Amino acid sequence: MSTLPYTIEELITVVLAKSFKDGEVGFTGLATGGAAALYITGIPLAAMEFARQTHAPNLTILLAGWSINPVFSEIRELPSAEFDSGLQNLPCEAQMETYPGPYAVRRGDVDFGFGSGVQVDRAGNINSTCVGDFNKPKVRLVGSILLPEHMTCFRREYIMMPHHEVRSFVEKVDYVSGVGYPGGDAGRQALGLTMGGPEWIVTPKCIFEFDRAAGQARLRSIHPGIDPHDVLNSTGFAIDTDGIPTTQAPTTEELAILRRKVDPHHALIPHGGE
Amino acid sequence: MSTLPYTIEELITVVLAKSFKDGEVGFTGLATGGAAALYITGIPLAAMEFARQTHAPNLTILLAGWSINPVFSEIRELPSAEFDSGLQNLPCEAQMETYPGPYAVRRGDVDFGFGSGVQVDRAGNINSTCVGDFNKPKVRLVGSILLPEHMTCFRREYIMMPHHEVRSFVEKVDYVSGVGYPGGDAGRQALGLTMGGPEWIVTPKCIFEFDRAAGQARLRSIHPGIDPHDVLNSTGFAIDTDGIPTTQAPTTEELAILRRKVDPHHALIPHGGE
Amino acid sequence: MGRTSKLTSLQEAAAIVKDGQRLTLGGFAIYQRPMAFARELVRQGRRDLTIVGVVNAIEADLLIGAGCVSRIETSYVGLEKFGLARNFRRAAEAGTLDTVDYPELIAWDRFRASQEGIPFWPCTFLGGSGIVEYNKDIVPFDCPVTGARLWAVPPAAPDVVVVHAVMGDEYGNVAFHDRKMLPQSVDITHTRSCDTIIVTVEKIVSGREMRKRPDLVEIPALRTTHIVEVPFGAHPTSLLGIYDCDEDAFRDYATASGTPETFADYLDSTVHPPGGHAGYLEALGVERLLALRNVELPA
Amino acid sequence: MGRTSKLTSLQEAAAIVKDGQRLTLGGFAIYQRPMAFARELVRQGRRDLTIVGVVNAIEADLLIGAGCVSRIETSYVGLEKFGLARNFRRAAEAGTLDTVDYPELIAWDRFRASQEGIPFWPCTFLGGSGIVEYNKDIVPFDCPVTGARLWAVPPAAPDVVVVHAVMGDEYGNVAFHDRKMLPQSVDITHTRSCDTIIVTVEKIVSGREMRKRPDLVEIPALRTTHIVEVPFGAHPTSLLGIYDCDEDAFRDYATASGTPETFADYLDSTVHPPGGHAGYLEALGVERLLALRNVELPA
């Protein structure tokens, strides 16, 4: 990636931003530590603010789920604690002080969110609970957290996978923390799920979208400089790389907005040299 | 009553107070205007504070349902508005700012309440909704309000009837706003009601209690100076006045506590001359 | 691109409410009701509304008396210390108004069911009540866990919610009292139970002003459909900490509602004169409005 | 007769919790957990507890690592930026801990179901999830209104709830932050979901002091079973506005929890030494504790 005039995070940020519509509401949790923080918090925040600064001035950001439309010029680093006075004192438009709060998750107030897991499968199911059998796990992880809601109450979900490896992109997840399209749209319907579901899977190598009738992930674009064989070899379920376009690169103007207006303190994502 | 050295309200207040146990939680709404205010708010408040000042220092008062343990020495008159700054500024221990609030009605936090209606019947059902057929009422009243909860979620209810007349004490209420003991305890059980129900019916003439097995009101005591025939003639369902004791009169010491410590500003109830 | 302002006139906002819709008017009993909005609905001659509420009072009685309402779902309609709601009573007795009764807490929980997107609120304590005898929207069922008899209470499901608050910005962020009481709490619940939210406020302030206390913004812009500046928009009801109940005006209302004829006169003289809400306030006069104000020393 | 004081020692309060009970420890994730209380349970050797929570962290991991817990019902167990909860992980992988998973909002709603006395919380969105595949306490049923597939989620039903707060009086009135965040909000919900409520507070103040802000008293005396003065009772977690997270102590914990052996050493050196909570604070030392304090100018 080092030969490109932008970072992979900048690339993803701008592509994500363009997929948001004006007036939408985006939810991001607060992940901490390295790549997870970048993919679940940093990139989503940068993308939402980029959208606000460009085509979507009425987009609403739910930072850590409870700080509504924070003032970005005040963010000097990614917050590392969800509920401390630092984030409480970050200027914003509204704060959620109690549960249930000022937006109605289960009425569909949230248009999109960002989630992740240790595994994602071909149907878009994600797993943050365990590797191996649930009752005798090889690795026990944190649990389902808010992923069930992300994948059914939000109107769409961007699955953010900071590591694109065979062990994370599996045929079938070991535990369904968040439901994708098992059996396609019809399958979701039969499960009583009337809303939401995964929109994209975003990785450092490519972006997947879904054939919702078939209930299968398919490639949407491969990032510039990435060999399609690398994508094939990193993905544990069958995909087709033929004729897949390259992920649209950000323009010079977009990079300037991103670097100067959205993230002037380089607090959210790594930036390319200018 | 004028020949007695106490008012009927003082009599009722002390009798009620003695029925409260230490540590209980009592709920009173805020009725306005004349006898209703006296029987639903004034007497209950005086009785609860009397209990606190005597045998029940741990009794909790829920004034208007939301001002918890108000400081009585600050009450100069019965509040006439539930939600204005006057009541908000009355010193107290805790306030309910939101629904659901700091006590859990439906877990059974409230030991007793005080309710009223335009009709009460032999089974202890009360009606605040309509006279005549619900679908074509002769008189439409305010509705059920909180009476369903009073009669099923509170652990017991004191039905306070400021006017003891045949038209209010009926064989069967026209509409059951709050459920008594239809079919007795077994009848309540069959209706799925596992808690609560009316304890007494308190009037200016007497006090009723309930034969819960039979699901019928019966006289508990007749107030001093009241002719049993008056009680019979004022009650629209069959009762037996034989051998019913006279309501226990307050002692001089009790009257002194009531007048000097509980209601020194004569804000809650009328007092007899001293 | 600039952000969209949601500022609307009272007339335009009231026009959002269509004949036949389910309408929730904020406030509780005789406190903090969006009265200016209700009067505008009367002016516009709205018909066949269903009022969905928790504890209703003058705002419902006014609309009923003006012929705007065909059905009401609530636990109480009355004027507290000002007496019975007489238009409500007459309409119910005449059979021109469908009254659908709920217990008070359950009337409130119906809005929580709408907020949570659940198809019903489970209730345990309705057996033997007139509520379940006459309200056929409440469906009995057996608890799938305990087998006990339960009742499925339908969500409030308003089409439009209107509340009156102290202040907001043009984008629709609306701040509430720091020290709340139930009329403020129910408004907060109301505004989370519906996707068409109209807020009338005493004053529109800048976004910068609002950002001083983001913790008090209980209605974020994302939930607000329209915001309207309507000073004394709750008159004659009170707005906690801002102005008191206009007891004379309230008593005039109660008296006027005594007969259909006197109430028609009241509407003609008080609601229908030209000038809308501004004219209504002019008719009350400066001295009277200022006398109702609450003032305190700024912090 | 005088009013009864509910002041209790930490040891007596912890003794209220019996082996085998369902226990809820307040706070949220790594914030405002009643850690001193949890450590006292470890000292007393409590066994076979079920932890019922929303988002759990060090308080659960500590009790699990000390062998006090046989089952946990929650949506998350982890240490946020301090990594995985390794005692939890080991116990789950070894099969010595029953893990019962709930979605986060539903884990919270279970306490609301207990608060409201309803036998289940209806949930619409669980189809296809591992939650309903493995959690047999959640009962599928058909909506009595719409016919759609729903799930009846059991109430949290804790036997004992313990939260750590800023201040309270000897009768059990407990005040909360004016500007709340979710850890305070969940504590408020917790304390309304159960009839045995133990509150540890930084400081006991007089009833007169408490009456200055009755609007901030979210746990009235009537709900409190015992109140215990425990300064720095949340250490090493933070108490919003009072003290910060002790990051060094937290990291020491995370490191120690890496193996059963190092964790046993940790318990021996940190939890079990004589002197209880006072000894624990002494070992930390004045300088360290004072450095964690938040201070601001009095109003």
D119 to C124: CB separation less than 8 angstroms, yes or no? yes
CA distance D222 to chain B (A): 7
Omega into D220 within 30° of 0, i.e. cis? no
A93 to C117: CB separation less than 8 angstroms, yes or no? no
The residue segments making up the domain with residue D272 are 19-100+157-213+222-291
pLDDT at A2 over 70: no
Q: Would residue A2 count as lying in a domain?
A: no
Give percent of chain A above pLDDT 90: 89
SS3 of residue C201 by DSSP: strand
Q: How many CB pairs under 8 A join B and D?
A: 78
pLDDT value for B34: 84
Give the mean model confidence (pLDDT) for residues C222-246.
98
CA distance B89 to chain D (A): 10
The tokens for D208 are: 């007169």
Neighbours of chain A (3+ CB pairs under 8 A): C, D
Tell me how far apart the alpha carbons of residues B211 and B209 are, in angstroms, rounded to a whole number: 7
Q: Would residue D266 count as lying in a domain?
A: yes
Give me the residue from C1, C114, C221 closest to A93, CB to CB.
C221
* Nearest residue on chain B to D187, alpha-carbon basis: B102
Residues C87 and C186 in one domain: yes
**C206, C172 Cβ separation under 8 angstroms:** no
Residues C197 and C277 in one domain: yes
Q: Would residue A35 count as lying in a domain?
A: yes
**B164, B120 Cβ separation under 8 angstroms:** no
User: Mean pLDDT score of chain C, rounded to an integer?
Assistant: 97
Q: Would residue D126 count as lying in a domain?
A: yes
B21-64 residue pLDDT tens: 999 999 999 887 789 899 999 999 999 999 999 999 999 999 99
User: Mean pLDDT score of chain D, rounded to an integer?
Assistant: 97
C61-105 residue pLDDT tens: 999 999 999 999 999 999 999 999 999 999 999 999 999 999 999
| Total domains, chain D | 2
Q: Would residue D140 count as lying in a domain?
A: yes
| Total domains, chain B | 1
pLDDT value for B1: 43
- Consecutive H or E run containing C197: strand C197-204
Q: ipTM of this model?
A: 0.97
Residues C252 and C130 in one domain: no
CA distance C56 to chain D (A): 24
pLDDT value for A85: 86
B106 to C188: CB separation less than 8 angstroms, yes or no? no
Tell me how far apart the alpha carbons of residues B150 and B29 are, in angstroms, rounded to a whole number: 10
Q: How many CB pairs under 8 A join A and D?
A: 149
Question: Which residues in C lie closer than 8 A to residue B194 (C-beta atoms)?
Answer: 124
SS3 of residue A115 by DSSP: strand
Between residues 212 and 231 of chain C, which touch chain D (CB distance below 8 Å)? 215
D188 to A98: CB separation less than 8 angstroms, yes or no? yes
Q: Would residue B220 count as lying in a domain?
A: yes
Give me the residue from B83, B153, B193 closest to C128, CB to CB.
B193
Residues C54 and C113 in one domain: no
pLDDT at D281 over 80: yes
Whether D147 and chain C come into contact, CB under 8 Å, resolves to no
Q: How many CB atoms lie under 10 A from the CB of residue A185? A: 16
Strand ranges across the sheet with B119-121: B126-127, B119-121, B169-170
C117 to A153: CB separation less than 8 angstroms, yes or no? yes
pLDDT value for B75: 86
Give the mean model confidence (pLDDT) for residues B191-207.
97
Q: Would residue D2 count as lying in a domain?
A: no
Give the mean model confidence (pLDDT) for residues D12-39.
98
Q: Cα–chain-centroid distance for residue A131?
A: 22
CA distance A216 to chain D (A): 16
Tally DSSP H helices, then E strands, for chain A: 8, 14
SS3 of residue A60 by DSSP: strand
Identify any residues that bridge with A216 across adjacent strands, giving them in sequence order. A211
Whether B195 and chain D come into contact, CB under 8 Å, resolves to no
Mutate to test the interface with D, among A40, A142, A146, A152 (most CBs of D within 10 A): A142
B68 to D222: CB separation less than 8 angstroms, yes or no? yes
CA distance C178 to chain B (A): 10
Q: Would residue A269 count as lying in a domain?
A: no
Give me the residue from A54, A95, A109 closest to C214, CB to CB.
A95
CB neighbour list of residue A228: distance below 8 Å, 6 or more residues apart: A222, A241, A244
Tell me how far apart the alpha carbons of residues D290 and B262 are, in angstroms, rounded to a whole number: 47
The tokens for C10 are: 């009272």
pLDDT value for B274: 54
Residues C174 and C83 in one domain: yes
Q: Would residue C6 count as lying in a domain?
A: no
D192 to B103: CB separation less than 8 angstroms, yes or no? yes
pLDDT at A1 over 70: no
Residues C27 and C132 in one domain: no
Q: What is the CATH number of the domain that holds A166?
A: 3.40.1080.10
Is residue A274 very low, low, confident or very high in pLDDT (cuts 50, 70, 90)?
Answer: low
Tell me how far apart the alpha carbons of residues B219 and B222 are, in angstroms, rounded to a whole number: 7
SS3 of residue C100 by DSSP: strand
User: Mean pLDDT score of chain B, rounded to an integer?
Assistant: 95
Q: Would residue D298 count as lying in a domain?
A: no
pLDDT at C299 over 80: no
pLDDT at C136 over 70: yes
D128 to A143: CB separation less than 8 angstroms, yes or no? no
Give me the residue from B22, B91, B103 closest to D222, CB to CB.
B103
pLDDT at C279 over 60: yes
Question: Which residues in C lie closer than 8 A to residue D175 (C-beta atoms)?
Answer: none
Whether C119 and chain D come into contact, CB under 8 Å, resolves to yes
Tally DSSP H helices, then E strands, for chain B: 8, 14
Indicate the residue among D118, D133, D153 that finishes a domain: D153
Q: Please give the sequence-ordered ranges of beta strands (E in DSSP) within chain D, or none if there are none.
A: 22-25, 49-52, 69-74, 98-101, 121-123, 139-142, 149-153, 160-168, 174-175, 197-204, 217-219, 226-229
D214 to B68: CB separation less than 8 angstroms, yes or no? yes
Question: Which residues in A lie closer than 8 A to residue D130 (C-beta atoms)?
Answer: 127, 129, 134, 144, 175-177
Residues C27 and C77 in one domain: yes
Q: Would residue D13 count as lying in a domain?
A: no
Residues D94 and D38 in one domain: yes
The tokens for C91 are: 């309409």
C1 to A71: CB separation less than 8 angstroms, yes or no? no
pLDDT value for A32: 79
Q: What is the DSSP pairing of strand D22-25 with strand D160-168?
A: parallel
The residue segments making up the domain with residue A53 are 8-262
Whether D165 and chain C come into contact, CB under 8 Å, resolves to no
The tokens for B227 are: 């002719």
Tell the burial category of A176 from Cβ atoms under 10 Å away from its Cβ (0-12, 13-18, 19+).
Answer: buried
pLDDT value for C288: 96
A117-158 residue pLDDT tens: 999 999 999 999 999 999 999 999 999 999 999 999 999 999
B68 to D220: CB separation less than 8 angstroms, yes or no? yes
C145 to D178: CB separation less than 8 angstroms, yes or no? no
Q: How many CB pairs under 8 A join C and D?
A: 54
SS3 of residue A36 by DSSP: helix
pLDDT at B139 over 50: yes
Mutate to test the interface with B, among D120, D171, D219, D222 (most CBs of B within 10 A): D222
C166-192 residue pLDDT tens: 999 999 999 999 999 999 999 999 999
Tell me how far apart the alpha carbons of residues B271 and B273 are, in angstroms, rounded to a whole number: 7
Residues C39 and C146 in one domain: no
pLDDT value for A179: 98
Give percent of chain D above pLDDT 70: 100
Give me the residue from D117, D123, D148 closest to C124, CB to CB.
D117
SS3 of residue A138 by DSSP: strand
The tokens for D137 are: 């306490």
Give the mean model confidence (pLDDT) for residues D6-14.
98
D122 to C120: CB separation less than 8 angstroms, yes or no? yes
Residues C252 and C280 in one domain: yes
D102-157 residue pLDDT tens: 999 999 999 999 999 999 999 999 999 999 999 999 999 999 999 999 999 999 99
**D203, D229 Cβ separation under 8 angstroms:** yes
Q: Would residue D193 count as lying in a domain?
A: yes
Question: Which residues in A lie closer than 8 A to residue D105 (C-beta atoms)?
Answer: 99, 105-106, 146, 149
CB neighbour list of residue B189: distance below 8 Å, 6 or more residues apart: none
A149 to D103: CB separation less than 8 angstroms, yes or no? yes
Q: What is the CATH number of the domain that holds C208?
A: 3.40.1080.10
D217 to B93: CB separation less than 8 angstroms, yes or no? yes
Whether B105 and chain C come into contact, CB under 8 Å, resolves to yes
Question: Which residues in C lie closer than 8 A to residue D109 (C-beta atoms)?
Answer: 116
CA distance C69 to chain B (A): 17
Residues D132 and D278 in one domain: no
Residues D96 and D163 in one domain: yes
pLDDT value for C43: 98
